[in-house]
């Protein structure tokens, strides 16, 4: 029998939030035009423009890997390179898709501090070599929130953007957990993107209560030239596009996107607070989004798994990642914390 208890391995484990589900049900009534020429896609795009306070170009893709890869490919030629953190999702978890869709643009990794790039690390990589034998840096990509759950502040983004402009680089943001960053900082989406110098954002919906679907927002509209053709060629133009765009209407029309992100963040903070006093248990990174990274003894990790808990340990020796979701129940967080405490104090 499948165990349907809530787990903490990934925020992808969660189901569809009621707002997205209801919007899909409404979109399922009657016929609509295909390939994005429908009222739901138009409404979703307008909601994004209102939310971000600017007339951006909006596209929809099935998943984050496609969104990131196609966005980066649109900013590069095959002889260019993309600067990213050594822990960035595009580097560690997208199976070479950015290189594939760009016909070979190389990812150049830069050292990061708590998962975040700095102007200095970007400048070091960009200026390392400038001869014709080396792929020319063209784009910087940031992950917001980062792969270790930290969040870029507006001033950090502005400093990075200034460095990008100085070096002639475009700035892309992988926003798989952009909602959680907004919720943590209390900043508007505009303050964390185009007002801080971001050119393109991939806004994640899957991790915030949607079944599938990411939005690609071009704040620099010139960079979006022919992007619709790129999506079509990559198999990302949905014929029944309304089922990708309608859930966004459900999330955006009354602020559900932010409520869900705030709740997931709260559950992560709760977990951290319940175990932070335990001997031998340390927070590996600040808890700023919906992830908690704990350094624990190996025997504790194995004992937790023996109790049926699912979580990832890809961060390094003794590192365990626990992700909270839009629907995480506080009681389940307390159960996990109680088991961690019982194991550590046994």
Q: How many CB atoms lie within 10 A of CB 191?
A: 18
Q: Count the residues in the chain.
A: 346
Mean pLDDT, rounded, of the chain: 95
Token pair, residue 152, equals 């870029």
Q: Which of 163, 157, 150 is nearest to 219 (CA)?
A: 157
Give the residue, 316 or 25, on which the prediction is more confident: 25
Residue 317 is predicted with a pLDDT of: 55
Q: Which of 60, 14, 33, 22 is nearest to 247 (CA)?
A: 22
Quick check: 2 pLDDT over 80?
A: no
Quick check: 264 pLDDT over 90?
A: yes
Token pair, residue 52, equals 């971000």
Residue 346 is predicted with a pLDDT of: 86
Residue 308 is predicted with a pLDDT of: 95
* Residue 228 pLDDT grade (very low, low, confident, very high; cuts 50, 70, 90): very high
Residue 3 is predicted with a pLDDT of: 60
Residue 151 is predicted with a pLDDT of: 98
Cβ–Cβ < 8 Å for 198, 38: no
Beta-carbon contacts of 200 under 8 Å, excluding residues fewer than 6 positions away, are 71, 74, 75, 170, 171, 172, 173, 216, 217, 218, 219, 220, 223
Residue 316 is predicted with a pLDDT of: 54
Cβ–Cβ < 8 Å for 70, 236: yes
Mean pLDDT of 141-153: 97
Quick check: 29 pLDDT over 80?
A: yes
Strand pairing partners for 118? none
Beta-carbon contacts of 86 under 8 Å, excluding residues fewer than 6 positions away, are 109, 110, 111, 112
Q: Which of 277, 275, 262, 276 is nearest to 324 (CA)?
A: 262
Residue-wise pLDDT for 189-225, tens only, equals 999 999 999 999 999 999 999 999 999 999 999 999 9
Quick check: 44 pLDDT over 90?
A: yes
Mean pLDDT of 229-236: 96
Residue 314 is predicted with a pLDDT of: 73
Quick check: 148 pLDDT over 70?
A: yes
Predicted TM-score (pTM) of the model is 0.95
Quick check: 1 pLDDT over 50?
A: no
* Percent of the chain residues past pLDDT 70, beyond the cut: 98
Q: Report H helices in the chain.
A: 18-27, 39-52, 64-75, 89-92, 97-101, 119-126, 154-167, 178-185, 227-233, 242-252, 256-275, 298-306, 330-345
Mean pLDDT of 297-318: 87
Q: How many CB atoms lie within 10 A of CB 22?
A: 15
* Percent of the chain residues past pLDDT 90, beyond the cut: 96
Residue 248 is predicted with a pLDDT of: 98
* Residue 315 pLDDT grade (very low, low, confident, very high; cuts 50, 70, 90): low
Residue-wise pLDDT for 99-138, tens only, equals 999 999 999 999 999 999 999 999 999 999 999 999 999 9
Cβ–Cβ < 8 Å for 187, 154: yes
Place of tokens 């170009």: 57
Mean pLDDT of 218-246: 97
């Amino acid at each position: 029998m499948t165990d349907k208890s809530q787990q903490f391995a990934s925020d992808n484990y969660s189901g569809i939030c009621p707002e997205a589900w209801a919007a899909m049900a409404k979109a399922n009534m009657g016929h609509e035009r295909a390939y994005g020429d429908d009222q739901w896609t138009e409404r979703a795009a307008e909601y994004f423009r209102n939310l971000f306070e600017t007339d951006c170009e909006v596209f929809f893709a099935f998943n984050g890997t496609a969104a990131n890869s196609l966005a980066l490919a649109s900013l590069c030629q095959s002889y260019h390179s993309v600067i990213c953190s050594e822990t960035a999702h595009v580097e560690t978890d997208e199976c070479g898709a950015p290189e594939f869709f760009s016909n070979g643009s190389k990812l150049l990794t830069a050292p990061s501090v708590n998962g975040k790039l700095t102007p200095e690390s970007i400048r070091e990589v960009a200026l390392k070599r400038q001869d014709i034998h080396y792929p020319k840096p063209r784009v910087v990509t940031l992950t917001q929130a980062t792969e270790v759950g930290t969040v870029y502040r507006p001033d950090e983004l502005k400093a990075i953007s200034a460095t990008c402009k100085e070096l002639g680089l475009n700035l892309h943001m992988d926003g798989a957990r952009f909602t959680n960053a907004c919720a943590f900082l209390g900043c508007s989406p505009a303050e964390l993107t185009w007002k801080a110098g971001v050119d393109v954002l991939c806004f994640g919906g899957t991790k915030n209560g949607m079944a599938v679907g990411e939005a690609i927002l071009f704040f620099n509209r010139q960079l979006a030239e022919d992007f619709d053709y790129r999506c079509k060629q990559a198999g990302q133009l949905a014929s029944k596009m309304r089922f990708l765009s309608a859930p966004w209407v459900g999330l955006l029309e009354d602020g559900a996107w932010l409520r869900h992100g705030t709740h997931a963040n709260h559950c992560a903070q709760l977990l951290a607070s319940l175990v932070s006093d335990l001997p031998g248990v340390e927070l590996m990174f600040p808890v700023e989004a919906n992830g908690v990274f704990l350094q624990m003894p190996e025997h504790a990790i194995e004992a937790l798994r023996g109790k049926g808990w699912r979580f990832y340990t890809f961060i390094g020796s003794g590192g365990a990642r626990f992700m909270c979701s839009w629907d995480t129940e506080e009681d389940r967080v307390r159960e996990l914390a109680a088991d961690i405490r019982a194991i550590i104090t046994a």
